[in-house]
Structure 1
Amino acid sequence: MSDASRTHVGTPTPEELRAQVERTREELGQTVEALAHKADIKAQAQEKTAAVRKRAAEETAVVAGHVRANAHHAVQLVKDRTPDRVRDQAAQASGLVGHATARAGRLVAEHTPDSVHDRAGQAATTARANRKPLFVAGAALVVALLLVRHRHGCR
């Protein structure tokens, strides 16, 4: 505001106040518009992320379907090319192995002292309570075995 537009007392006139209010409204409107624009960008980014996730899920489903179809086809080829005599022998061997395993399990259970059963139960309970460290230890053991096997194979 300039000195010329003020009255003698130095207070703004009603027209000046209206103009000042109008300018403030315009500035506020621009600020709100800028904030809304920023919010729209965020929303757009979220929409794009959702679209990418959806597309990835669809592509994963398609690939999984192809893998299942190929696996089914491979199984069918093996079945078709395996003679009936071999399939019958495999089924028979599988049955024998199942029976032998069950019998061995019963024999071990019958001849194992109760103290060993108790200790095994305690170990199983502890393992269930501490699965994560057990999985980590198992993974470390597998990696160590693979490294040892690889070193022996490279010599």
Structure 2
Amino acid sequence: MTQPPHDEPTARSQDELREQVERTRHELGDTVQQLADRADVKTRAREKALAVREQAETRVHALRGQAETKVHALRGQARTKAAHVAHTVEEKLPEPVRQKAAQAEQAWQDKAPQPVRDHRTALLAGAGAVLVAWLLIRRRSHS
């Protein structure tokens, strides 16, 4: 706000002078409020902390989503690998062992409770992993 020199009258009437005084008061009030806001360190710190917290929550949410996606992909890869290993082991089994396995499979179907039959794939994958481990241990001990 530029002010005219003090020796020149700025208002032509008392009404104009009152308006100028009121405008100046309002501008001065705004300026004082802005200075007070800047000087209120506690409120500014609280606002900054809130903003940082919101950013952190957003980042955590994004990272959690990425982690869930990664875990889902890894589970799928593990299932595929387990199925492949089980199939490979099954192909390498001698015929008498395959026949025994087929008989055991039939007996299992006849006698296994329904909840166990519902989770057959997971159980077979686990059994295949145990069999692979047993074969690897046996191979190392004979070497």
Please tell me the TM-score bracket, short chain as reference: 0.3 to 0.5
TM-score norm. by structure 2 comes to 0.45
Asked which structure has the greater RCO (Cα within 8 Å, sep 6+), the reply is 2
